[in-house]
Structures are given as structure tokens and as C-alpha cells.
Amino acid sequence: MKRIVLHLLAVVLVTINLVFGVDLLPLIDVHQEQAYLMTLVSYYQNYASPKEMDVIYVSNVGLGLGTYMEHKVDLKNKKVWEYNAWASGEYVQRDPAAEEEGFDFMRELNGCKIETFRRRANWCGFANWGEPNLLLYDWYRFVHRGERYEANPIVIEDYWEITIVFADGTTKQDGSNSGTYPRTWDCMYDAFEELTGENILLYKKKRWAIA
């Protein structure tokens, strides 16, 4: 019950800070739970005001399907690029030092769809993949087992990697080389497809197959 109260308190503190610009956290003292409250406040602040994403790099290796695809989704310049390592019939690694980082241009992106994508990515917790989900842990701990990713029983050796470049110049990288996927993978699969018209994330976890 104490943790639920702390969640509610954190939401109130973040709301007051966003609406009135007043930081009340230094005035709150919950003794042993102070560090946890500070973590919650940071968590909700990131959710309410997420960092703006500029570029997203996505790599997918489907060993069972013989695929190696890379995409560059440039939200800032409204473009999407791709690289197929097997396009020539033989494996050729992309050269990041080449023009346009070795990617091939695909198409321009629609500005309205980009904003929709940003909102959906925030809702799906996309920028927080690979980090502890405090909401799931405290509100649904009877379901939570400490395993953030779920395994694909068919293609257990597949590999994916995602790198996000934020507007402030910082980056965030996450991935898996054991055929495991975040719980909101399908949510982002749909978001990328609606944004680009392409199968950026390769697999749709719900069906454990190429969508």
C-alpha cells in the first residue's frame, strides 16, 4: 500500500511541476522511501515530457529466414533509409563511413504521421525498452516475473538492435541476440509500419512470423 501512495504522490508532484513550474520534491521527506520517491518522480517526468527523438537505427537479423536488414528512420529530416546486406546475393556489411552512412534512400515521411509516431512511441515506452518498468513492478507484481522480454519459441537465434539518437545528442541502445522481444514490441511494430509503410521490425511477436 505504501508503494501505491508513493506512486500517487509522485504523479501529484510531477503534475504540479509541469503546470505551475514549482518543484516540491525538496520539501517532501518520506525517510527510507525518499530514494524510491525520487526515482518515481524521474520516471513520471520522463513519461510526461519524453526526450525528443531525432533518428532511430534498427537492425534485424533473421537467421532462420536468411535476412539482415538495417533501417534508418530520420524523424528530424522526415526520411527513411534501408540497407539489405544480402541485396547482391552475397553478404556485404554496411559501410558507416560511406555516403549517407551506406544506406539507400526509401521515401519521405509525413509530418503528421511523425507526430503520431512520437505519441505512440511514448505510450509504448519505446525509449525505455531495457529498463525496469516501475508501473508493472508495483501495480502488477503478481504478473511480473522480472523478465522484461518474452522469447520467440520459433526463431530463438534471431537478433535485433535499436539505437535512438535524441535531439540533445544523447543516445540509447537496446537489443537482444536470443530471440527475445519487449512486451510492447507489437505496438511499435504497428507504429513503425504506419509511419514508414515498411516492415521495419521484421517480426510481429503476436504471430511469431513475418507479418
Give the CA distances from residue 202 to residues 17, 88, 198, in Å, rounded to whole numbers and listed in that order.
40, 20, 9
Q: 71 - beta bridge partners?
A: 58, 82
pLDDT of residue 125: 80
Sequence-distant (≥ 6) Cβ neighbours of residue 157 within 8 angstroms: 63, 64, 177, 178, 179
With beta carbons less than 8 A apart as the criterion, state whether 192 and 201 touch: yes
List the 104-108 sheet strands across, edge first.
104-108, 79-84, 67-74, 53-62, 159-166, 171-176
**Alpha helix segments (H runs only) across 51-174:** 111-123, 134-139
pLDDT under 70: residue ranges of the chain = 1, 3, 7, 11, 14, 17-19, 36, 40-49, 62-67, 130-157, 205-211
Amino acid at 167: A
Distance of CA 199 to the CA centre of its chain: 16
pLDDT of residue 132: 56
pLDDT of residue 129: 79
114-145, pLDDT tens digit by residue?
999 998 898 888 887 766 555 544 444 433 33
pLDDT of residue 197: 94
pLDDT of residue 201: 87
Distance of CA 179 to the CA centre of its chain: 17
pLDDT of residue 12: 79
Where are the domains positioned within the chain?
2-48, 53-210
pLDDT of residue 140: 42
